[in-house]
Structure 1
Amino acid sequence: MISVVLLGSGNVGTHFFKAIEKAENVRVAQWFSRQIDSIKGYKNKTAITDNLSELMEADLYILAVSDDAIATLSSALPFENRLVVHTSGSVNVHDLDKKNKRGVLYPLQTFSKGAEMDFKNVPICIETLDKKSYPILKEVATSLGSPTKRVNSNQRRVLHLSAVFVNNFTNQLYRIGHEITESEAAEFDLLKPLIMETAKKIQTLSPYMAQTGPAKRHDKKTIEKHLDLLKNPEHKAIYKLLTKSIQNTHGR
């Protein structure tokens, strides 16, 4: 049984706790949060603390905290030569204090605290500096049911950047679409089957091959009609930018 001390009680930390709780070969021996009230509801399931000096000895310490807090927290850990990992997609593994063995468990997924998450749908990217640390991280990830991939720092950084495009930026486009439909009291829900089909297509087609629409067709009349309909200058600028990007990609 692999013992874990979990540090951080945000979205990622909370989902890690829930996933580990269901795993057979891993257990959360202790949960640390500076905001102790945020984890008091779990005190009957694991030991909790807001004091770094009270951290237990464990096989693995997972720092599921904000990117800006990783270096400071790892430096403040009151021990040496133990396995410490962070969960960030963009923070360098070398930002962890070198007094401990260092690695990364990067869950490539979007997390919301109130939403249930099946870790079968959470690929975990693993990076280590010490080859001997890899097997334990691999075992933790597979125990959660996650598909795993060993990556280097450069690969992890571009995966995180790409994730911003396909998730965060796409969600902002959903929000803009929602705002546009509301302007004429149209139902945004009517677009949801289209959203699902778009995501489904790239399971079997490359994004390049899946592209459709007026920009790819170079349908100037439709593009001009859309631009006339857009009253928000920011929305108009985004439409023009993405139209140009699609046309550049597809040779128009």
Structure 2
Amino acid sequence: MNIVLIGSGNLATQLSLAMKDAGQHILQVYSRTEEHACELAEKIGCRYTADVDEIDKNADIYVISVKDDAISELAERVSKMVVKGVLVHTAGSISMDVFKGKVQHYGVLYPMQTFSKNRQVDFRPIPCFLEASDDVTLETIRQLAESVSDHVVLADSAKRKKIHLAAVLACNFTNHCYRLAEKVLQEEQIDFNLFLPLIDETAKKVSVLSPKQAQTGPMVRYDVGVMNMQIDLLNDDRTKQIYRLMADSIHEDATSTDDTCRQPKA
């Protein structure tokens, strides 16, 4: 499959490396920053450009992997040059309709993972959520997705927005909690690496227990004495507020009668 990659950020970098390893033919990389386009093109062995008007017009599929607020403008410009190719974007929260009325064949390929440019990931276990304008286009996008991932799932725009929201809560919010913990430890010059076994075990538990069943700590018991002491140890009002909100949310969930949580694995 002949592919033009539009973007050179974290996701674009890792997806392009996975596509290359899968034997896909990447014709060209476009980025508005020429240095970034050149850097990625060298990694995957293809041409590059920083001029939208120079994007190759003969690709089978154009993968737009840029910031969410740049997708619409790029879709508008690229669609004026694409005659037969499929346009897809890789965003979780942007509707497929961003392409509607611009091109005939379009869709979404959303890999749900956290990506960094310089940390290569194994794409095979990463779920990829697909949506397409028609069945023929869906088959094209599916072939590309299945070449890099073992978990390809159909999800319309409304469902994908909820998936992305859940991903933000599970990943970005969790990582920020790591950062808040790191700042507390830095005050006492304690190595954050000492917390990696705790972080690893917390992540491993939810592979066999639901998050509700895996929750422990003073908030579950609502140990007010411990919680107030910990709040007093925090040095800024924002983090104190986060602590209180999280504490109440954890306790309310732990004591609720909600039985919709995932059943533990055998």
Partner of 1:151: 155
Partner of 1:32: 30
Question: Which deviations, in whole Å up to 9, do the C-alpha atoms of 1:134-179 show, x marking residues without a partner?
Answer: 1121111111134211111111001111111111111111011011
Normalised TM-score (structure 1): 0.93
CA distance in 1, matches of 2:206, 2:176: 20
Partner of 1:20: 19
Partner of 1:131: 135
Q: Are residue 166 (structure 1) and residue 165 (structure 2) matched?
A: no
Q: Is the 8 A contact 1:80 1:99 kept in 2?
A: no
Question: Which deviations, in whole Å up to 9, do the C-alpha atoms of 1:53-81 show, x marking residues without a partner?
Answer: 33231111100111111111111121345
- The structure-2 alpha-carbon separation of the partners of 1:94 and 1:168, relative to structure 1 and needing over 3 Å to count, comes to same
Partner of 2:89: 86
CA distance in 1, matches of 2:59, 2:209: 44
CA distance in 2, matches of 1:66, 1:146: 26
CA distance in 1, matches of 2:254, 2:13: 43
| Letter in structure 1 aligned against 2:102 | K
Q: Comparing 190-199 with 33-42, which one deviates more in the overlay? A: 33-42
Q: Is the 8 A contact 2:127 2:149 kept in 1?
A: no
- The alpha-carbon deviation at position 96 of structure 1 amounts to 1.8
- The alpha-carbon deviation at position 103 of structure 1 amounts to 0.3
Partner of 1:73: 74
- State which of 227, 232, 240 in structure 2 corresponds to 1:236: 240
Unaligned runs of 5+ in 1: none
- The alpha-carbon deviation at position 194 of structure 1 amounts to 0.5
Q: Aligned ranges for residues 101-116 of structure 1 at < 5 Å?
A: 101-116=105-120
Q: Is the 8 A contact 2:128 2:152 kept in 1?
A: yes
Q: Percent identity, please.
A: 35
Q: Comparing 220-229 with 197-206, which one deviates more in the overlay? A: 220-229
Q: Are residue 61 (structure 1) and residue 62 (structure 2) matched?
A: yes
Q: Is the 8 A contact 2:64 2:88 kept in 1?
A: yes
What secondary structure, in the 3-state scheme, does the structure 1 residue paired with 2:235 have?
Answer: coil
Q: Is the 8 A contact 1:81 1:99 kept in 2?
A: no
Question: Which deviations, in whole Å up to 9, do the C-alpha atoms of 1:214-252 show, x marking residues without a partner?
Answer: 110121221122122222221111111100001111227
| Letter in structure 2 aligned against 1:57 | N
What secondary structure, in the 3-state scheme, does the structure 2 residue paired with 1:119 have?
Answer: coil
Unaligned runs of 5+ in 2: 257-266
- The structure-2 alpha-carbon separation of the partners of 1:231 and 1:99, relative to structure 1 and needing over 3 Å to count, comes to closer
Partner of 2:2: 3
Q: Is the 8 A contact 2:57 2:82 kept in 1?
A: no
Partner of 1:206: 210
- The structure-2 alpha-carbon separation of the partners of 1:47 and 1:97, relative to structure 1 and needing over 3 Å to count, comes to farther
CA distance in 2, matches of 1:15, 1:187: 30
Partner of 2:126: 122
